[in-house]
Amino acid sequence: KNEVEQSPQNLTAQEGEFITINCSYSVGISALHWLQQHPGGGIVSLFMLSSGKKKHGRLIATINIQEKHSSLHITASHPRDSAVYICAVSPTNFGNEKLTFGTGTRLTIIP
C-alpha cells in the first residue's frame, strides 16, 4: 500500500466547475505539499501546509492532521488549470528535501 494515496486518478470537468482532489497519507508528516505538473514535466509547488487551510487565488488547500487527509480545491476552473496535481509529504524528522509522492491526479478542464 502506498504511503500517499490520491483520488481520483483522472478527473474531467467543464470550465467553471468546482474541483476537489483528495490526498490521504499513512505516515507521520512534518508538512504536506501540493504540486502542479504541466505537460513537458516542470513542477511548481502550489502549497506547503502543516495545519489548517491556505488559499491562493482560486486554489484552496486544507489539511486534517488527525484524519491524515488533505484536499485541494479549485474554484471557477479554467482550461489552463489542466495539469497533473501531485500530493507529497515530508516525513516526520525530515525536512522538505525528502518527499514521498502520491501518484497524481490528471485534471482536464473542457472549455
Partner 1 sequence: KAGVTQTPRYLIKTRGQQVTLSCSPISGHRSVSWYQQTPGQGLQFLFEYFSETQRNKGNFPGRFSGRQFSNSRSEMNVSTLELGDSALYLCASTYDIGGGVGSYNEQFFGPGTRLTVL
List residues binding partner 1 (CB under 8 A): 30-31, 33, 35, 40-45, 48, 86, 88, 90, 93-104
For the bound state, the minimum distance from the C-beta of residue 62 to partner 1, rounded and expressed in Å, comes to 18
Cβ closest to partner 1, residue 19 vs residue 33: 33
Q: Which residues pair with 52 in a beta bridge?
A: 63
Closest CA to 88 of 76, 80, 96: 96
- In the complex, the smallest distance separating the C-beta of residue 21 from partner 1, rounded to whole angstroms, is 15
| DSSP 3-state of 38 | coil
How far apart (Å, rounded) are the C-alpha atoms in residues 73 and 47?
12
CB of 20 to partner 1, least distance (A): 21
